[in-house]
Amino acid sequence: MKILAIDDQQLVLLPLEKRLTDLGYEVVIETDAALGLKLYDEFHPDLVIVDFNMPRISGFDVVNHIRKSKQPETPIMILSGNTQDAIITEAFELGVTDYMKKPLSLNEICARVKRLIGVPKIDVSKANDSVMIQQRCVGVVIPCYNEEERLLSDEFLKYIDQHTGYHLCFVNDGSKDRTLEVLYELQKGREDFITVYNCEKNGGKAEAVRLGMLHMSKKEDLDYIGFLDADLSTDLRDFDDLVKTIENSNFKIVSGSRISRMGADITKESARKIISLTINFIIRKILKMDFKDTQCGAKIFRKDVIDVAFGKKFVTQWIFDVEIFKRMSIHFGLSKAKKVLCEQPLKRWIHADGSKLSMKDSVKIVMQLAQIAWVYRSKKSYKSTNETEVLKVV
């Protein structure tokens, strides 16, 4: 029993392929719709699963091709995030057999497949866990420096196994311990979902995040890209909440915020809290925005602002988040920047033991803030500074 699945996002197809193969079906997947049409003519599947929203050749084109082919009665299931009534109605008028709206579980997809074309003679699947096929695909950059002992490998693996549509990019920032070996071991067998980007020399968190974000922005099947601390002081579930916010809004950046409030599990060292409040006051003056917490290590971006935020090297190593928001303000103008930036309170945030930022570093942070204020003091001066940097490189 053969199934052809066509979707421009590989992160959607891979878990679907695995589950249906485990059930005993013969499955072929394709991210290029044009190649998918050729495969249909050669593979002669018993069922076609296709997304509607694909570049160049849409799901409508695929349906029309099948209905005019030598096997026009082949069942077609649409798997799409498009929930517009007009689109769904048109799909059924074209002759689709079933329409599935993302997000939905793999269990439901498999149940629908069995109903349409039956159950294979040998059903080897024992998986009853409810893995969700998401509407969007997300890249997450995780900077790592000497994280051999602190990296919560099991937490990351469990999350990507249960939440399809996530691709993790671990950036090894010139670690001196066995971090790189740990990361390659973490990646083993999950190369389609985990990338290891190795920087031979330590360049600091800012540069590690920047290089990772630019690397992930080249992946065409990702809708959003963000970054997260390796110690998971920000819960992965909270990160997914940030993704849901940007997915259902017009915001360009959604940033986590460690604001203490009723119902939230937010813990900080008391001394760090006092220092944070002082530094935050200075940051608000520099940005001219009422940000409560720019330094939370959990942020998600639309792809069209990745180059704006990360295209040029940062002036500072630690408080590059302030530079990101300042760059957005210069690019869009202060008024519009306030409308495209969102600060979302986290439900959980725990100060992780072993943090490399000590309280005495607060003096350095204040000095770096002064540096940012000087470099980004005006749009004209910021551009001239970057032009000077380019001339130095040349």
pLDDT digits (tens, 9 = 90+) for 141-196: 999 999 998 888 899 998 888 888 899 999 999 999 999 999 999 999 999 999 99
CB atoms closer than 10 angstroms to residue 234? 23
Residue 308 has pLDDT above 80, yes or no: yes
Q: Which residues contact 56 (CB under 8 A, 6 or more apart)?
A: 33, 34
Element (H, E) at 86: helix 85-94
Element (H, E) at 101: strand 98-101
Residue 30: closest CA among 20, 17, 18: 17
- How confident is the prediction for the chain on average, in pLDDT? 85
Residue 175: closest CA among 162, 184, 167, 164: 184
Q: How far apart are alpha carbons 327 and 329 in whole angstroms?
A: 5
Q: How far apart are alpha carbons 250 and 102 in whole angstroms?
A: 20
Residue 284: closest CA among 325, 243, 317, 253: 325
The reported pLDDT for the residue numbered 267 is 55
pLDDT digits (tens, 9 = 90+) for 196-209: 999 999 999 999 99
Give the three-class secondary structure for 227. Answer: strand
Element (H, E) at 317: none
The reported pLDDT for the residue numbered 388 is 47
Q: What is the largest CA-CA distance in the chain?
A: 74
Q: Which residues contact 83 (CB under 8 A, 6 or more apart)?
A: 101
134 Ramachandran zone, left/alpha/beta (phi>0; psi -120 to 50): beta
pLDDT digits (tens, 9 = 90+) for 240-286: 999 999 999 999 999 998 775 544 555 555 555 666 666 667 777 77
The reported pLDDT for the residue numbered 293 is 77
**CA 166 remoteness from chain centre:** 6
Of 208 and 234, the structure prediction assigns the larger pLDDT to: 208
Task: Count helices and strands (H / E) in the chain.
Answer: 15, 16
* Orientation of helix 362-375 relative to helix 379-393, angle to 10°: 100
What are the b/e assignments for 345-354, b being 16+ CB within 10 Å? bbbbbeeeee
Angle in degrees, CA 50, 56, 58, rounded to 5: 30
Element (H, E) at 204: none
**What is the percentage of the chain residues whose pLDDT exceeds 90?**
59
Residues across the chain:
394
The reported pLDDT for the residue numbered 391 is 33
* Orientation of helix 362-375 relative to helix 320-332, angle to 10°: 20
Q: Which residues contact 24 (CB under 8 A, 6 or more apart)?
A: 1, 119, 120, 121, 122, 123, 124, 125
**What is the percentage of the chain residues whose pLDDT exceeds 70?**
84
Residue 392 has pLDDT above 70, yes or no: no
**Encoding tokens for residue 180?**
């790189």
Q: How many CA atoms lie within 13 A of 105 on its CB side?
A: 9
The reported pLDDT for the residue numbered 376 is 86
15 upstream amide cis, omega within 30 of 0:
no
**Encoding tokens for residue 120?**
């294979």
Q: Which residues contact 90 (CB under 8 A, 6 or more apart)?
A: 60
Element (H, E) at 225: strand 224-228
pLDDT digits (tens, 9 = 90+) for 63-120: 999 999 989 999 999 999 888 899 999 999 999 999 999 888 899 999 999 999 998 8
**What DSSP designation does 121 have?**
S
